[in-house]
Amino acid sequence: MAPQVFELILIQLKHKIVGEPFHIPLDRTCEKLGFNPIEFGKVGIQHHPLSAQQQDGALNPLHGDQGIPATTGEKKTYTADMAAHNPYPVRSGNTFRLLSGADALMPAMLDAIRGARRYVLLEQYLVSSGELTGRLIEALIDCAQRRIPVYMLLDHFGCRGLGLGDRQRLRDAGVHLAFYNPAYLSHFLRALPRNHGKMLIIDGQMAFTGGAGITDDYRTDTAILAWHDVIVEMRGPIVGDWQAMFTLNWERWGGRIDVLPAETWQPGAQRGRLAVSLRGLKKFVRRALILNIGHASGSVWLATAYWLPGRAMLRALRAASRRGADVRLLLPGPTNDHPAVYHAGHRYYHYLLRNGVRIFEYQPAFMHAKLYLCDDWVSVGSSNMDRWGLRWNLEANLESKDTALSAETRAFFSEAFAQSQEITFEAWRQRPVINRLREWLFGYLDLIIERFGSTREMQRNVATGAAERQPGNTADRGVPNE
């Protein structure tokens, strides 16, 4: 989420500097984005307050202690009971396959779409017109022409690079196209909640999730190396949970959906479950990760594209290192898509290195994967370890404690570590002054943004009385009622 916030702020500053009013007429905005102004204006974000227990320690700005960089985040002990509140249960009888590298990601998904027989459900954050997106559109249009229902739910901010021509091609072919939280500049704050989830569901039998978007950044036939990413292919009963989540999201933003129920066949013996994170209310991805870091005795290997951790995460990593676990971070190197976020994340390096955490920056290309390994427990999906993403975004990960999947994950990490530069504590202490200045500048901006979000959320909860959400509420789409 932090990259989105930086971009939105830069857009706002641009309008301030050139003297153009920040408010842009709705009709003109819709014309640029390809939406009906009347329908566009009806969409809004409903807010539902946190309980008093959820507010306690979760929303108040905290100052750094014991060497931890100042952040705003939860100060609480994560327990098995907290993670167990995940409404999606552990499912048995599945098969999981980890796919890594740009040369494997898109071909696998295109083959699955071309083989569809009942329906195709696609939910994606990052989509931009180009060669790879053209191939995806052709595959989806082919399904629609074969009278196979195709539903495509895109995040309105993330897909701003998708041209109007491509959107019209999809609609003309009969593809059901909807957008999550349409937003425009005159409603800056409404634009903050985003759907960062990434899933592809085929016939209720197969599903994919991971960190990969649909852009030409994943092309392997250009001089620029493709982004390094992973996705996981899932088959079995767990696909039903991913389809249920898609259905809830679609009904909120696209209306009625008419597809057959997911199949309940059991093609394998692997166990796993869906974990979500939704606008700070249900942070099951982070809860489960911190819980498993706390239980890990062998290895804690984390890969994320954007590294802006909270205090609870920093404490968990420090504790794991002191217990003797092999704690490593696989992060982007100088090749990245948001230098501001890259430098802001550096403000945590000193604390982590001093406490025995090993940090590796991937060198060949932009490392965009979101993959977490704690002994034999694996979490893979759309969720980065940045506070803004966990506060505002809808995220979805697969969690599994399985020896086969953990072995594939360990192999991915081992190969990536070999292509990375390890940042040592001594080398970090000798970094150039210009790097220290960037680290301070962007780290300070990140802290201001985070405290703004925390304060705003707290004020809204106080104003509404911090009442519990009522059963049957439809605002938290993507999470069934507990």
Does the pLDDT at position 92 exceed 90?
yes
- In 10 A of CB 452, how many CB atoms? 13
Arithmetic mean of pLDDT, 72-86 = 50
The distance of Cα 45 from the centroid of its chain, to the nearest Å, equals 19
Distance of alpha carbon 171 from alpha carbon 154, whole angstroms: 14
Arithmetic mean of pLDDT, 219-225 = 93
Res. 47 pLDDT band, cuts 50 70 90: very low
User: What pLDDT sits at residue 457?
Assistant: 59
Does the pLDDT at position 101 exceed 80?
yes
Distance of alpha carbon 461 from alpha carbon 52, whole angstroms: 9
User: What pLDDT sits at residue 121?
Assistant: 98
Does the pLDDT at position 435 exceed 50?
yes
Long-range Cβ contacts of 408-412 (<8 Å, 24+ apart): 408/97, 408/98, 409/98, 409/301, 409/371, 409/373, 409/378, 409/380, 410/299, 410/301, 410/373, 412/98, 412/100, 412/230, 412/369, 412/371
In percent, how much of the chain has pLDDT > 90?
66
* Torsion angle of C-alpha atoms 47, 52, 57, 58, degrees rounded to 10: -20
CB 320 within 8 A of CB 375: no
Same topology, domains 48-86+273-463 and 94-271? Answer is yes
- 48-86+273-463 domain in CATH 3.30.870.10? yes
Three-state SS at 276: strand
Segment 453-473, tens digit of pLDDT? 666 556 655 654 544 444 444
Res. 446 pLDDT band, cuts 50 70 90: confident
The architecture of the domain spanning 94-271 is 2-Layer Sandwich (3.30)
Q: Distance between terminal CA atoms of the chain?
A: 26
Arithmetic mean of pLDDT, 255-263 = 92
Could you tell me which residues are beta bridge partners of residue 359?
329, 423
* Tokens 């706002």 belong to residue: 12
User: What pLDDT sits at residue 445?
Assistant: 87
User: What pLDDT sits at residue 24?
Assistant: 31
Distance of alpha carbon 203 from alpha carbon 134, whole angstroms: 22
Helices of type H across 49-172 = 52-55, 80-84, 102-114, 131-145, 164-172
Domain coordinates of the chain in residue numbers? 48-86+273-463, 94-271
Distance of alpha carbon 29 from alpha carbon 274, whole angstroms: 36
Does the pLDDT at position 213 exceed 70?
yes
